[in-house]
């Protein structure tokens, strides 16, 4: 059956123009089919171009079982549901039901929209936000899904979105006056009835970790669980199996208390006072915690007198909020829910401040306006393994980057997996002729003074000769900003920079221009698919080792040491290899693509561990001569390459 589907005259050949059977795709599809039949675990690294999406969709659709497919991001989730899945449904004549399920914060909440409409008529309100609210209300009367991603009237990063959606803390559940029309409720009901449900890793792990109340099970029970972009799972699991408390949660609570005061308890003036005090305390603690983008050790931070002082004020403010809301119980559903949230946040703050409990990493991070305090377990393997044993069924994990030198232990051990089968499928691309890898001679040492200036001087001629069409992937925001500034001073071509507009808009502009240099960091290392001549050169500033002061890395290093391991070779190198493989994967996306990869790090050739990186990459011809890169990109591949 599987062989027939993937043959030239099979189901896929009839719906996909120019479909060519690939042995690697068929091998993966057979392995997925057998895993579903046997109720076992499968780990597959499928190189770029293998066609892994169809390789797991086909056996899933013909299995007759309830399937959960989890993706690495909402973008991939939508692509799978709106593009790939309908194609396979059509090809196979699948008659079952399919559903897309996102987290609660993606769906419009009727009740919170109504409250915001009332609140926004205040004399101090921003007229622009009121205008957007009116557009959302108009859209709400015609939408069937309530998914705000489908609302063109507002930007994806609009500050309005958190005010018109619910979250785990502020949802009123069955007590909500709009419960019968709730979009979240409808989406979950549809998922319960569906045969195939498409979710994302964040939602899946949130469900495992907290089993949200008010709606029962968030994600329905299933027979088969398939994880695409599975390399992201361990880090996301670390977040959800821990605990966190953010200033955003505290300020959102304060805002809801104020709305409750203005709309339903105007005689309780102290509600406004406690809301103001809570917001101010949260903002004061944010100020003393450090600069935006800073991540620090929470245990160490608790030794600071200014931090201890502001933390005490925050605890007092939260205690007062709890006491006053207790007096308001029964006045309004919004205030009753706020009381429950205050109790939860009070307990969470106590837990976060008890740093004596072992087995966890305690850390904090700051954005320009907010802070988050985190407790992260040193290992999630036991918890994830428990979930697999409880759920049973078939578990399939796939990504283009899971193995380090054909070894999967770095991935499987982090999740406690014991796969019956694990293997790598090579990419079908002809890397020998389609690509060239260069580690230039005379490179500055990583992190050396003036590195950005030296890299610009060295690489400018290549970028100019190539007419832009280049990604420069950086390992830090600081390097990204320095490079962008220098390139804009010396380059006549368009220079696009991550963060100056949304990721989608930036990518669209890059493709539209056709001669741009895009300087970016983390967000562009994976999940980006640019085919054809628009992108023919990818430059990486250095090997992507995680910063040694990163709290999550420190936690894993500590866990590795406790188990008698060697953190550099067992944690840091494998992490960097997986990230590098993702970055390299941006270059060749199609059988007709041709491009050069430049990695500006001598350690690839001077350090013994450089071989681990090189052996983990596709079989791309290598050179150290930058002039050969220009020749290759111009179509004059030199015979000297080898």
The CATH T-level fold of domain 431-633 is: Rossmann fold (3.40.50)
Q: Is 60 exceeded by the pLDDT of residue 123?
A: no
pLDDT of residue 12: 87
pTM attached to this predicted model? 0.86
Q: What is the mean pLDDT of the chain?
A: 90
Q: Name the pairing type of β-strands 360-366 and 371-377.
A: antiparallel
pLDDT band at 177 (very low <50, low <70, confident <90, very high): confident
Q: With both helix axes pointing from N to C terminus, report the angle between 333-353 and 247-264 in degrees, rounded to the nearest 10.
A: 160
Q: Tell me: the pLDDT tens digits for 310-319?
A: 999 999 999 9
Radius of gyration of the chain (CA): 26
The CATH T-level fold of domain 243-377 is: Fumarase C; Chain B, domain 1 (1.10.275)
pLDDT of residue 218: 67
Q: Is 70 exceeded by the pLDDT of residue 207?
A: yes
Q: Tell me: the pLDDT tens digits for 238-275?
A: 888 888 999 999 999 999 999 999 888 989 999 999 99
Other CB atoms within 10 A of residue 129 CB? 16
Query: Starting at the edge strand that comes first in sequence, how are the strands of the sheet with 394-399 ordered?
Result: 98-100, 196-200, 67-71, 224-228, 394-399, 41-46, 421-425
pLDDT of residue 215: 42
Within 8 A by CB and 6+ apart from 605, the residues are: 439, 624
Higher-confidence residue: 555 or 22? Answer: 22
Give the three-state DSSP class for 537.
Answer: strand
Strands (E), 210-337: 224-228, 243-246, 295-297
CA distance 252 to 370: 12
DSSP code of 491? -
Which residue is it, tokens 């690939």? 22
Q: Is the dihedral of CA 619, 622, 626, 628 positive or negative?
A: negative
pLDDT band at 296 (very low <50, low <70, confident <90, very high): confident
- Which residue, among 252, 219, 235, 230, has the nearest Cα to 102 in the 3D structure? 219
Within 8 A by CB and 6+ apart from 7, the residues are: 13, 21
Where do the structural domains in the chain lie, given as residue ranges? 2-96+195-240+380-425, 104-185, 243-377, 431-633
Whether the CB-CB separation of 630 and 467 falls below 8 Å is answered with no
The CATH T-level fold of domain 2-96+195-240+380-425 is: Rossmann fold (3.40.50)
Whether the CB-CB separation of 528 and 453 falls below 8 Å is answered with no
CA distance 296 to 317: 24
Q: Is 60 exceeded by the pLDDT of residue 170?
A: yes
What is the arithmetic mean of pLDDT over 51-58?
95
pLDDT band at 212 (very low <50, low <70, confident <90, very high): very low
Residue 519 pairs with which residues in a beta bridge?
472, 497
CA distance 270 to 258: 10
Query: Starting at the edge strand that comes first in sequence, how are the strands of the sheet with 371-377 ordered?
Result: 243-246, 371-377, 360-366, 295-297
CA distance 525 to 78: 20
Residue 596 pairs with which residues in a beta bridge?
436, 537
Q: Name the pairing type of β-strands 196-200 and 67-71.
A: parallel
CA atoms within a 13 Å half-sphere pointing along the CA-CB vector of 214: 22
pLDDT band at 642 (very low <50, low <70, confident <90, very high): very low
DSSP percent split of the chain into helix, strand, coil, nearest 5: 50, 15, 35
Q: Is 80 exceeded by the pLDDT of residue 56?
A: yes
Please state the φ and ψ torsions of residue 600, each to the nearest 5 degrees. -90, 55
Q: Is 80 exceeded by the pLDDT of residue 637?
A: no
Please state the φ and ψ torsions of residue 563, each to the nearest 5 degrees. -90, 5
Q: Work out the end-to-end distance of the chain between its first and last CA atoms, rounded to an integer number of angstroms.
A: 43
CA distance 255 to 318: 14
Give the three-state DSSP class for 124.
Answer: coil
Helical spans, DSSP H, in 6-143 = 11-15, 23-38, 52-62, 74-79, 85-92, 110-119, 127-140
| % pLDDT > 90, the chain | 67
What is the arithmetic mean of pLDDT over 201-219?
69
Whether the CB-CB separation of 383 and 241 falls below 8 Å is answered with yes
Task: Determine the Cα angle at 622 with ends 620 and 623, to 5°.
Answer: 155
Instruction: Tell me the two tokens of residue 90.
Output: 């059509």
Strands (E), 490-551: 495-497, 517-520, 537-540
Q: Tell me: the pLDDT tens digits for 568-606?
A: 999 999 999 999 999 999 999 988 999 999 999 999 999
Higher-confidence residue: 56 or 180? Answer: 56
**Do the domains 243-377 and 431-633 sit in the same CATH topology, yes or no?**
no
CA distance 479 to 500: 15
User: What Cα–Cα distance (Å) separates residue 235 from each residue in 76, 189, 473, 607?
Assistant: 18, 29, 21, 28
pLDDT of residue 420: 95
Whether the CB-CB separation of 410 and 404 falls below 8 Å is answered with yes
């Amino acid at each position: 059956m599987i062989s027939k589907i993937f043959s030239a005259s099979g189901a896929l050949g009839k719906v996909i123009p120019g479909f060519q059977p690939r042995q690697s795709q068929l091998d993966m599809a057979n392995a997925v089919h057998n895993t579903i039949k046997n109720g076992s675990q499968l780990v597959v690294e499928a190189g770029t171009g293998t066609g892994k999406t169809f390789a797991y969709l086909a056996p899933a659709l013909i299995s007759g079982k309830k399937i959960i497919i989890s993706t690495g991001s909402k973008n991939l989730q939508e692509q799978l549901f709106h593009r790939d899945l309908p194609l396979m449904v059509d090809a196979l004549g699948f008659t079952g039901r399919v559903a897309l399920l996102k987290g609660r914060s993606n769906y419009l909440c009727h009740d919170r929209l109504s409250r915001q409409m009332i609140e926004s008529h205040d004399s101090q309100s921003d007229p622009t936000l009121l205008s957007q609210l009116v557009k959302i209300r108009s859209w709400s009367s015609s939408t069937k899904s309530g998914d705000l991603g489908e609302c063109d009237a507002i930007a994806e990063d609009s500050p309005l979105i958190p005010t018109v959606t619910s979250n785990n803390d502020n949802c009123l559940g069955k007590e909500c006056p709009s419960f019968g029309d709730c979009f979240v409720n409808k989406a979950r009901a549809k998922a319960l009835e569906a045969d195939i449900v498409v979710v994302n890793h964040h939602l899946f792990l949130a469900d495992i970790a907290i089993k949200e109340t008010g709606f029962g099970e968030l994600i329905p029970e299933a027979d088969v669980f398939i994880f695409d972009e599975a390399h992201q799972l361990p880090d996301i699991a670390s977040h959800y199996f821990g605990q966190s408390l953010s200033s955003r949660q505290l300020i959102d609570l304060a805002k809801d208390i104020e709305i409750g005061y203005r709309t339903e308890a105007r005689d309780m003036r102290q509600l406004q006072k406690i809301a103001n005090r809570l917001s101010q305390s949260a903002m004061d603690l944010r100020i003393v915690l450090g600069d935006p983008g800073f991540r620090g050790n929470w245990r160490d931070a608790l030794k600071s007198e200014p931090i201890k002082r502001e933390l005490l004020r925050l605890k007092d403010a939260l205690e007062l909020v709890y006491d006053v809301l207790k007096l308001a119980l029964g006045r309004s559903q919004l205030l009753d829910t706020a009381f429950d949230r205050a109790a939860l946040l009070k307990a969470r703050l106590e837990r976060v401040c008890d740093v004596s409990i072992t087995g966890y990493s305690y850390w904090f991070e700051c954005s320009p306006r907010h802070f988050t305090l985190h407790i992260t377990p040193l290992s999630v393997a036991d918890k994830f393994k428990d979930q697999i044993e409880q759920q049973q069924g078939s578990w399939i994990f796939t990504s283009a980057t899971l193995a380090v030198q054909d070894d999967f232990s770095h991935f499987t051990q982090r999740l406690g997996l014991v796969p019956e089968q694990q293997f790598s499928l090579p990419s079908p691309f002809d890397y020998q002729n389609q690509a060239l890898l260069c580690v230039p001679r005379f490179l500055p040492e990583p992190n050396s003074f003036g590195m950005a200036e030296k890299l610009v001087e060295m690489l400018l001629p290549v970028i100019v000769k190539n007419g832009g069409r280049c990604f420069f992937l950086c390992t830090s925001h600081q390097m990204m900003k320095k490079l962008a500034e220098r390139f804009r001073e010396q380059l006549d071509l368009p220079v696009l920079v991550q963060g100056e507009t949304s990721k989608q808009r930036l990518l669209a502009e890059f493709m539209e221009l056709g001669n741009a240099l895009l300087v970016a960091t983390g967000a562009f290392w994976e999940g980006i698919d640019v085919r054809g001549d628009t992108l023919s050169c990818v430059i990486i500033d250095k090997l992507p080792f995680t910063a040694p002061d990163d709290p999550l890395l420190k936690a894993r290093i500590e866990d590795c040491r406790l188990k008698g391991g060697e953190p550099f070779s067992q944690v840091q190198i494998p992490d960097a290899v997986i990230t590098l493989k993702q970055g390299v994967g941006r270059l060749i996306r199609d059988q007709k693509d041709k491009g050069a990869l430049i990695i500006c790090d001598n350690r690839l050739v001077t350090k013994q561990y450089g071989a681990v990186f090189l052996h983990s990459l596709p079989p791309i011809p290598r050179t150290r001569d930058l002039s050969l890169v220009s020749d290759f990109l111009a179509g004059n591949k030199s015979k000297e390459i080898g």
